[in-house]
Chains A and B, each alone.
Chain A
Amino acid sequence: MARMKFICDAERCIECNGCVTACKQEHEIPWGVNRRRVVTLNDGLPGEKSMSVACMHCSDAPCMAVCPVDCFYRTDEGVVLHDKDLCIGCGYCFYACPFGAPQFPQAGAFGLRGKMDKCTFCAGGPEKDLSKEEFAKYGSNRLAQGKLPACAEMCSTKALLGGDGDVIADIYRQRVFKRGKGSEVWGWGTAYGKPDQPKAAPAGAKS
């Protein structure tokens, strides 16, 4: 298996925020923390593009490099996770991350930064799999249930693909071939491919 990755197809994303909702619901994420969010460019203009963004589980993750307490690790499937018992909530990872993935829940009455929270690719964390402790700290562990991330599986237009990098790249490649178009146009045809050509009318038939 290759590394676990996300791909978001900007031609298909309709900014429904279903992925954000699925993530929040699956992991019971507190108010003010968004492990996943939808970013829209040229919002309101024709040809606007939306994209769902979360931790990209980088192969050479800057968060891992800058962490002063070395609380990050990478699983065999290439998922970047961290140990909240070690995290000191310093925020270095937030500065280092190009995607703004690390989130800091409010802890205490004065809005002190809590321990870092981020997308786990629905792989939980370093606690007993499917235990209460794991759920409380890291959320649901869907990979241990043989499932894929909730955001990708819930995506209504299948804009967000998540899973083995090789497999989702193949799916995306097939999709692009089917479209036969670049990003110069937008709409149904670009997102889902064009319908088959209608059969030619028989000779002599009225038009």
Chain B
Amino acid sequence: MTTAHRLMLAGAAVLLAVGISACGERDQVTVYKQGKYQGKPDTKPWENDPAVNPYPGSKWDKGDKTSWERALKARNLAQNEYTRVE
């Protein structure tokens, strides 16, 4: 085998390798990675005093998450007209 033949064979092998490398399959599903919040901190809704609320809504004890949740649940259940009608 002459040197020219060897060079041609080597070139063909390199071309084949490059061609096949384009046939790879990548994962099509996006994997989300959550970042870390960089903004200002927010206050909790139950930390507000309902007594100073300019637009009174439900009543709860200031700072008491459970009582705020209870007040909100009562409000939430008012959306069920079956319990209001029957």
Asked if chains A and B come from one complex, the reply is yes
- Chain A interface (Cβ < 8 Å from any Cβ of B): 1, 60, 62, 64-67, 69-73, 75-77, 81-83, 85-86, 123-130, 141-148, 152-153, 158, 161-164, 167-168, 171, 174-175, 178
Enumerate chain A residues within 8 angstroms of B53, measured Cβ to Cβ: 130, 144-146
How distant is B83 from chain A, measured CB to nearest CB, in Å?
9
- Check if B38 sits within 8 Å of A86, measured CB to CB: yes
Interface of chain B, main secondary structure: loop
A145→B75 CA distance, assembly (Å): 12
- Residue of A65, A67, A178 near B82 (CB, 8 A) is A178
- Chain B interface (Cβ < 8 Å from any Cβ of A): 32-45, 47-48, 50, 53-60, 68-69, 71-73, 75-77, 79-82
21 A-B Cβ contacts within 8 A?
A65-B33, A66-B32, A73-B37, A75-B44, A83-B37, A83-B39, A86-B38, A129-B43, A130-B48, A130-B53, A144-B53, A145-B48, A145-B53, A145-B56, A146-B53, A146-B57, A146-B58, A148-B75, A163-B75, A167-B76, A171-B80
Contacts A146-B75, A163-B72 given; indicate if A175 touches B41 (C-beta within 8 A). no
Enumerate chain B residues within 8 angstroms of A77, measured Cβ to Cβ: 45
- Check if A1 sits within 8 Å of B75, measured CB to CB: no
Enumerate chain B residues within 8 angstroms of A161, measured Cβ to Cβ: 79
Apart from the given pairs A144-B45, A164-B69, 6 other A-B contacts in the complex at a CB distance below 8 Å: A81-B42, A123-B45, A126-B40, A146-B60, A158-B81, A167-B73
